[in-house]
Amino acid sequence: MAYKPSMRTKSDSLEMELDIRPVMNLMVVLIPLLIVSAEWVKLSVLEINIPPSKNAGSGGDDNSQENKEKEKLLGLTIAITHDGITIANASTILSSDNEAEDGPGGPTVPKNPDGSYDYDVLITKLIDIKKKIVGKGFKDEDRAVITASADIEYQVIITVMDKIQMYEENNNILPLFPQINFGNVL
């Protein structure tokens, strides 16, 4: 049953001061916690170059063709397959140390007996290549092209990319092949 406005009890309004101390205490604790936890989350960005378009080179003049021929390019390619990792350049394929065991045409760095990739041998071979080409005038001495079979695990490709960027020698961190391109597997 509704009451008439005149019959409603009139209450005195209470003046109450808003206490914001609990909210301030929460902010004092929450802000440093967020700042500290933000330090734990670090993102890594790796700059990758995509393969050039096949149409990009067409329509050039003869002078640009002569300049390309004068450039000394290494063309280092690292191919990841299910048999292992093959290191090659534009003209040759680096053979493995145990060629008789793998047979001709085997990968440069065969897989371990347990089926894992041998990244240590890969790094050793790439360091040897890097030491041989430094100062020889190659335009792409810091570049490597990574190709992989279509069904290679993503983590294997990422691990190879991480391993070939730099190496440590005499407590110095030196660049190995920091410029990474992706190539197509034919």
Domain count along the chain: 1
User: Is residue 25 assigned to a domain?
Assistant: no
Over range 66-80, report the average pLDDT.
Answer: 74
pLDDT at 159: 92
User: Is residue 32 assigned to a domain?
Assistant: no
User: Is residue 58 assigned to a domain?
Assistant: no
Over range 61-89, report the average pLDDT.
Answer: 75
User: Is residue 101 assigned to a domain?
Assistant: yes
pTM here is: 0.61
At 165, is the secondary structure helix, strand, or coil? coil
User: Is residue 59 assigned to a domain?
Assistant: no
Mean of the per-residue pLDDT values for the chain? 78
pLDDT tens-digit map of 94-103:
766 654 444 4
pLDDT tens-digit map of 144-176:
889 998 888 989 999 999 999 988 888 888 888
User: Is residue 144 assigned to a domain?
Assistant: yes
Q: What is the dihedral of CA 77, 79, 84, 86, to 10 degrees?
A: -30
User: Is residue 125 assigned to a domain?
Assistant: yes
pLDDT at 100: 42
pLDDT tens-digit map of 18-60:
889 999 999 999 998 888 877 665 666 666 666 666 665 555 5
pLDDT at 131: 87
pLDDT at 101: 46
User: Is residue 99 assigned to a domain?
Assistant: yes
Mean pLDDT lowest among 1-10, 74-83, 118-127, 147-156:
1-10
SS3 labels along 105-127:
CCCCEECCCCCCCCHHHHHHHHH
At 62, is the secondary structure helix, strand, or coil? helix
| Structural domain containing residue 163 | 73-182
Q: Is residue 143 over pLDDT 80?
A: yes
CA distances from 179 to 48, 82, 83, 125, 169 (A): 7, 24, 25, 18, 20
